Structure 1
């Protein structure tokens, strides 16, 4: 029997068979997780699986843990709270905010950090909770997202060491996500050198050198990973079976763990060009159209409020996505061989952005199959 979840609301199982929905194959998720784990372990690299793209749905996290993973990473405390009862180390990926320090200490075992004021707040919260909170100090190596500059590392590390109830677990970096900077021997090598510099100058040992996300995996696959990287934080490579530096599929991994299904709510022949003077659409954009004559046009009950439309790909290759409004997805079925009708279901593959939005939307049913 299929199970349905609504996220981010409280997890409930219903018998609702309605659309739109996204279906999740747990067997394929388990397979991909085991492959990623084996790839990393063969190279002496530990793995944190990033679960933010599916809001840390407990049934999915359980499958990942059963596959052998011991660290779950998520960007939101709310998602880590959802899996508080599961036995694993919980890593907060987004930099903590001072206002959430107590919640971070309560629900995350480890957090990524770059601000001393925040670290002091975490220390205070950890003392209050009588816990030791582990931190990874993030270094900005050029992608210009989070992290301190390399020249600030020693002074910042000295301050971190002096904070009560804070364990300085190691250092890390993020690449590709904002600036598109590819992980390479230069920037990852610099991260390893910084770790050695900290240990030599401060007389401590760091357990973790976290060398990035799924964009760093290509170096592991090519057997060119910089020696000294001990950890990767992998999301897209596990759930969609591809590395993200060059967008190449990982041999042997499933690409279709997730299937989005939408129901046709209107099917009519209409012109391809709107009639009248064209102004701004609902999103403040001025659309342009190509005159292709009369089309067989379908409307699917999903829109830009729920999904990044550019990230959807119809599995029926004869279907063309025309665009969408906040609540409707418009399709061109003119060249379809299938005899679609109102009430039929159209299946789509999803990219990471589309998956993220679909899983976050409470208007999309989530089915475990």
Structure 2
């Protein structure tokens, strides 16, 4: 059935080993693999959980952690909730996440109470906002950092496992030695003040890995959280392909359902499309247009590239992808399969969509 994601497990393993070599061998960092990019796909989870270099498996959704927590714990890995916990999910967070990322003391209080009920000591990573302006206590707010720390240290069922920071995901701020050094400096202050040793100083995601190769990852950063780097082989700071990785471990296959000669310009007054956007069209005369059975409900069409380099994506509605095949060297017909490399946004949606099958190459 189509559309489907074709997942090459050998290429994924190759990518995993390539990023592990950079992260653990060169960077002396523990490796946390983020599973949300493929919606905690079972075959991918098996691959990652069985790899000796991976110490942590993380996701932003508790439901995904729930699907694999028992299995990965049997493999000796810790489960991590990346997105700040919702108060409504505290019981499941304590049950399925060995570690959770936090910034709000009110939520940490709830975790402490629930951990007491479950007879556990729940580990947390306190997030610090270094300027990307997503989650974390803002790094300049020392008063809030100190008051939060003071209360955490008094909690009987919370263990401060470490500090973390996130960059590039919202504000697109690139990790640098300068901003990550703020995190390591704060970690040193906390260790001295409270006479503790933090297990984890997590210096970001796939946008931080380039600092290892440049020799600019600050001393003290001992963990990276990698999703796109592993799945698609990308350094997300500058969009470069990481050494030893491939970008086609995950490919979308979809089927042509219409193929006709039509004008390149719609006829009539142009309003807004189904998503409230006013589109722009280039006059190319009469062109050969194919409609492919996939759309914006299933994927991010802006992060797809056809493997037929002479096929051009013109646009999409919720269920239809429109492409120009006028200049293609392939003589397409209705029913033919078209293959696309996908970016992170497209992969997220495709892996989540119930209308997209998964097929594995082993």
Structure 2: unaligned runs, 5 residues or longer: none
Distance 1:24 1:247 in 2: 22
Matched, 1:145 2:129: no
Q: How many residues align?
A: 352
Question: What is the CA deviation profile of residues 147-204 of structure 1, one whole-angstrom value per residue up to 9, with x for unaligned ones?
Answer: 0123122221111111121111010100111111111121111111101101111222
Distance 1:160 1:50 in 2: 26
Of residues 110, 113, 127, the one that matches 2:102 is 113
Q: TM-score, normalised by structure 1?
A: 0.94
Partner of 1:61: 45
Distance 2:264 2:325 in 1: 12
Partner of 2:34: 50
Distance 1:237 1:184 in 2: 18
Q: TM-score, normalised by structure 2?
A: 0.95
Partner of 1:9: none
Question: What is the CA deviation profile of residues 194-229 of structure 1, one whole-angstrom value per residue up to 9, with x for unaligned ones?
Answer: 011011112222111110111110001222211110
State the secondary structure of the residue aligned to 1:216: coil
Query: Does structure 1 conserve the Cα–Cα contact (< 8 Å) formed by 2:296 and 2:318?
Result: yes
Partner of 1:83: 68
Query: Which 10-residue stretch deviates more, 343-352 or 162-171?
Result: 162-171
Matched, 1:164 2:156: yes
Distance 1:188 1:84 in 2: 30
Partner of 2:181: 189
State the secondary structure of the residue aligned to 1:156: helix
Structure 1: 4+ residue segments shifted above 4 A: none
Partner of 1:274: 266
Partner of 1:97: 86
Partner of 2:14: 31
Structure 1: unaligned runs, 5 residues or longer: 1-17
Partner of 1:15: none
Deviation at 1:283, TM superposition (A): 1.3
Query: Does structure 2 conserve the Cα–Cα contact (< 8 Å) formed by 1:29 and 1:64?
Result: no
Partner of 1:214: 206
Distance 1:49 1:198 in 2: 27
Deviation at 1:244, TM superposition (A): 0.8
Of residues 268, 272, 289, the one that matches 1:297 is 289
State the secondary structure of the residue aligned to 1:36: helix
Matched, 1:130 2:115: no
Partner of 1:232: 224
Distance 2:237 2:279 in 1: 32
Query: Does structure 2 conserve the Cα–Cα contact (< 8 Å) formed by 1:309 and 1:354?
Result: yes
Deviation at 1:269, TM superposition (A): 0.6
Distance 1:92 1:45 in 2: 19
Distance 1:279 1:143 in 2: 36
Of residues 290, 313, 321, the one that matches 1:321 is 313
Distance 1:277 1:242 in 2: 42
Deviation at 1:327, TM superposition (A): 0.4
Query: Which 10-residue stretch deviates more, 92-101 or 57-66?
Result: 57-66
Distance 2:159 2:49 in 1: 24
Query: Which 10-residue stretch deviates more, 99-108 or 28-37?
Result: 28-37
Query: Does structure 2 conserve the Cα–Cα contact (< 8 Å) formed by 1:20 and 1:263?
Result: yes
Deviation at 1:95, TM superposition (A): 0.3
Report the RMSD for the aligned CA atoms in angstroms: 1.0
